[in-house]
Amino acid sequence: MTNLKMVRAGMLHSYDKEDPTLVVRWDVTGHCPYKCSYCYERESPKRKMEPSLEDLINAMPKLKQIVPAHKKLQFYLFGGEPTAHRDFLPFVTKLRESFPDAEISCLSNLFHNLNFLQQLYSIDQNFLYNVSVHFEYFSEDVFWEKISFLAQ
């Protein structure tokens, strides 16, 4: 099963053994719609990496098995651009169903339209959307429209 090497887990934000949170940084795709001049991964072979939805879902039962019940889970979805995964919304749906109490977040360049954001929040109203602004692809009006939506 190749999908498990996609998961990197650990106490990334704290080394305090009393902290019950386990942070799972999950690289879900290498794809990114941008080719920013300053991106160190712009020409990387990682750009072609994208596990199937089935592989991502198949990793979840193993995670449930190995994570102690007293640990809070925090999933931090990475990429390239994690929301560029062809099955991002079904993946978040399954992740939320499998881990109803986990915190799920991603770092995104906001390339998707508002409809995508609305769908995402209909799946998980607590999704934490961290924004990375890329000025080579920046449209001020569109950016503020999306930020306004996220702020609500």
Query: How do residues 44-72 score in pLDDT, each as one tens digit?
Result: 766 778 899 999 999 999 888 888 877 88
- Name residue 104's beta-bridge partners: 75
Q: How many CB atoms lie within 10 A of CB 9?
A: 15
Which residue is it, tokens 């602004």? 133
| Amino acid making up residue 82 | P
- Name residue 103's beta-bridge partners: 74
pLDDT tens track for 72-126: 899 999 888 999 999 999 999 999 999 999 999 999 989 899 999 999 999 999 9
Given this model, what pLDDT does residue 19 score? 67
Phi, psi of 87 (to 5 degrees): -120, 35
Yes or no: say if 74 and 97 are a contact pair by the CB < 8 Å rule: no
| Amino acid making up residue 90 | P
Phi, psi of 137 (to 5 degrees): -125, 25
Phi, psi of 75 (to 5 degrees): -100, 130
* Most distant CA atoms of the chain, gap in Å: 46
Lookup: tokens for 107:
């770092």
Ranges of H-type helices in 1-152: 53-66, 88-98, 114-123, 140-151
Residue scoring higher pLDDT (1 or 84): 84
